[in-house]
């Protein structure tokens, strides 16, 4: 009887024609996450199995951070054929457990078995009552649930259920570019898009010397937290100083943020197209600040064609904070280092910017040239999930 880690797919099972594409990706992602361990992964359309002699807790700890998994169980594969032999094995497993009430649930994909699932459960229950003293059946609230799956080649038994993260395997939906600031919202937005199968690259705008090394380091730390879910992450660091100074010197201050964000969008769209990212992702949330009113979003969004996904657009701040705590980015996000937006914040930013005025004001600076320069200086950091080292690749 082999002890295995059993994986259930959840939403993935709804993918009919291309389910194999999703499953191969899931397998690859699990292998990536367990690359330091010796494991062998097998699967069929209903279940995936991790065969390993490594410490199960360590493996499960990693697997609970992989998207595309609905549930994880520690299972046992029974290869015996007769019901008597199978039940002996189940009793053997139960002898190690302390419980007084139980319930058996059975599934039967092997249609050669003539008994129904209900009959199989009843018969297994009877064998357990006969062989284990002082236990009884409780179908409503059992202390232990004995899950039996009668499959074509074998029988699976498992007890506890561990909840997986759900979502789709990262990479199955292509790539997206996350605008990652040091704030609370954008890492959460990144996490939510990775959850839907989007492999992300991230882009960060820095304005040295107005922004500190610590501010950048904070973004690198946040990227590293996301890298766990994303199978590493490329972080594009864009020097935004010249653009920001030009805006500050030449453009009416109430429009500083609107124009600055239009520049960020333009640069992000160029990097996205270079890196084959099909969407931009950011942490904008409706109404949170002046640049996130519907009119502002319109005035900012109009400069790019690429779809902009805002996963936390409709979340309350407190809900975003809750999620940030769950994914362990919150403590890093609240470190007190300013990013480039907070330094150049005007006293009275426009709440309803006009697109025409944006266009007029932008003529006051040579923004195309500045954008070209900023994109050319893109510094790509490869951020790994575990190791501290990063390599720098200049375009
Ligand atoms: P966050 O908490 O994510 O910083 P915020 O509430 O501070 O968001 P803004 O500063 O208006 O809001 O930024 C909105 C979004 O724009 C951010 O969530 C992020 O996606 C992007 N953004 C802002 N500043 C930067 C930056 N310096 N580099 C990259 N992206 C940025
Ligand atoms: Mg911010």
Rounded mean pLDDT, 221-240: 96
pLDDT at 327 over 60: yes
Tell me, using a 6 A CB cutoff, whether residue 296 lines ligand 1.
Answer: no
What's the CATH number for 175-394?
A: 3.40.50.620
pLDDT tens-digit series, residues 158-201: 998 999 999 999 999 999 999 999 999 999 999 999 999 999 99
User: Tokens for 273?
Assistant: 């197209």
Tell me, using a 6 A CB cutoff, whether residue 75 lines ligand 1.
Answer: no
pLDDT at 228: 93
Nearest ligand 1 atom, CA 179: 30
pLDDT at 195: 96
Ligand nearest to the CA of 262: 1
Rounded mean pLDDT, 55-69: 95
pLDDT at 394: 37
User: What kind and span of H or E run contains 280?
Assistant: strand 277-281
* Confidence bin at 133 (pLDDT 50/70/90): very high
For the segment(s) 2-166, the CATH number from 3.90.1010.10, 2.40.110.10, 1.10.357.10, 3.30.2130.30 is: 3.30.2130.30
Q: Cα separation of 252 and 242, whole Å?
A: 17
Q: Which residue out of 177, 182, 185 has the highest number of ligand 1 atoms within 8 Å of its CB and is therefore the one to mutate?
A: 185
165 closest CA partner among 44, 254, 72, 100: 72
Q: What are phi and psi of 182, to 5 degrees?
A: -90, 10
Alpha helices in the chain (DSSP H): 19-33, 56-63, 83-94, 117-131, 185-195, 213-230, 241-250, 256-274, 294-301, 317-326, 330-333, 340-343, 355-362, 367-376
Residue carrying the six token digits 């040579």: 366
Residue identifier of the C-alpha nearest atom 27 of ligand 1 = 205
Q: Cα separation of 143 and 103, whole Å?
A: 8
Tell me, using a 6 A CB cutoff, whether residue 362 lines ligand 1.
Answer: no
pLDDT at 339 over 70: no
Residue identifier of the C-alpha nearest atom 25 of ligand 1 = 181
Q: Cα separation of 119 and 107, whole Å?
A: 11
pLDDT at 232 over 70: yes
pLDDT at 113: 85
Distance 181 CA to ligand 2 centre (A): 6
Q: Which residue has the higher pLDDT, 66 or 112?
A: 66
Rounded mean pLDDT, 39-54: 94
Tell me, using a 6 A CB cutoff, whether residue 289 lines ligand 1.
Answer: yes
Distance 96 CA to ligand 2 centre (A): 53
Return the bridge partners of 106, or none: 148
Peptide bond into 209 cis (omega under 30): yes
- Tell me how far the alpha carbon of residue 219 is from its chain's centroid: 17
SS3 (DSSP) at 163? strand
Tell me, using a 6 A CB cutoff, whether residue 323 lines ligand 1.
Answer: no
Same fold, 2-166 and 175-394: no
Mean pLDDT over all residues of the chain? 92
All residues with CB under 5 Å from ion ligand 2: 181, 183
pLDDT at 308: 98
Tell me, using a 6 A CB cutoff, whether residue 184 lines ligand 1.
Answer: yes
Ligand nearest to the CA of 349: 1
Residue identifier of the C-alpha nearest atom 21 of ligand 1 = 179
Return the bridge partners of 108, or none: 150
pLDDT at 341: 59
User: Tokens for 244?
Assistant: 């920001």
Distance 283 CA to ligand 1 centre (A): 6
pLDDT at 393 over 50: no
pLDDT at 342: 65
* Confidence bin at 111 (pLDDT 50/70/90): confident
Q: Cα separation of 28 and 15, whole Å?
A: 18
Distance 27 CA to ligand 1 centre (A): 34
pLDDT tens-digit series, residues 340-350: 656 677 888 89
| Contact between residue 341 and residue 313 where contact means Cβ atoms under 8 Å apart | no
pLDDT at 390: 44
Q: 318-325 long-range CB contacts below 8 Å, 24 or more apart?
A: 320/184, 320/185, 320/188, 320/285, 321/184, 323/188, 323/191, 323/192, 324/184, 324/187, 324/188
What residue ranges do the domains of the chain occupy?
2-166, 175-394
| Contact between residue 77 and residue 44 where contact means Cβ atoms under 8 Å apart | no
Region label for 300, one of left (φ > 0), alpha (ψ between -120 and 50) or beta (otherwise): alpha
Between helix 19-33 and helix 56-63 the angle, nearest 10°, is 130
């Amino acid at each position: 009887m082999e002890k295995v880690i059993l994986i259930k797919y959840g939403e993935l099972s709804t993918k009919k024609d291309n389910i194999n594409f999703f499953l191969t990706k899931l397998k690859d992602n699990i292998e990536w996450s367990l690359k330091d361990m010796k494991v062998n992964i097998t699967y069929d359309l209903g279940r995936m199995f991790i065969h390993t002699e490594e410490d199960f807790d360590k493996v499960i700890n990693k697997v609970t951070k992989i998207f595309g998994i609905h549930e994880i169980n520690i299972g046992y594969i029974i290869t015996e054929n007769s019901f008597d032999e199978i039940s002996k094995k189940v009793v053997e497993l139960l002898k190690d457990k302390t419980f007084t009430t139980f319930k058996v649930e059975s599934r039967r994909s092997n249609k050669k078995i003539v008994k129904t699932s209900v009959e199989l459960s009843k018969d297994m229950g009877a064998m357990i009552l006969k062989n284990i003293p002082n236990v009884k059946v409780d179908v409503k609230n059992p202390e232990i649930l004995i899950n039996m799956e009668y499959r074509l080649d074998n029988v699976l038994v498992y007890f506890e259920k561990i909840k997986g993260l759900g979502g789709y395997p990262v990479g199955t939906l292509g790539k997206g570019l996350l605008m990652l600031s040091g704030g609370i919202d954008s890492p959460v937005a990144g996490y939510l898009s990775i959850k839907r199968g989007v492999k992300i690259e991230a882009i960060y705008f820095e304005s040295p010397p107005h922004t500190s090394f610590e501010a950048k380091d904070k973004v690198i730390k946040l990227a590293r937290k996301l890298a766990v879910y994303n199978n590493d992450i490329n972080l594009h660091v864009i020097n935004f100083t010249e653009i920001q100074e030009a805006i500050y010197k030449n453009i009416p201050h109430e429009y500083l943020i609107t124009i600055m964000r239009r520049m960020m969008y333009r640069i992000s769209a160029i990097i996205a197209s270079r890196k084959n990212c099909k969407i931009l992702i950011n942490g904008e949330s409706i109404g949170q600040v002046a640049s996130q009113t519907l009119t502002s979003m319109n005035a900012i969004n109009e400069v790019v064609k690429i779809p902009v996904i805002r996963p936390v657009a409709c979340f309350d701040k407190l809900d975003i904070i809750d999620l940030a705590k769950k994914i362990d980015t919150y403590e890093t996000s609240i470190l007190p280092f300013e990013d480039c937006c907070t330094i150049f914040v005007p006293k009275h930013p426009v709440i309803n910017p006009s697109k025409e005025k944006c266009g007029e004001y932008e003529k006051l600076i040579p923004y195309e040239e500045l954008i070209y320069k900023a994109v050319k200086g893109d510094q790509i950091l490869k951020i790994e999930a575990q190791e501290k080292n990063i390599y720098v690749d200049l375009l």
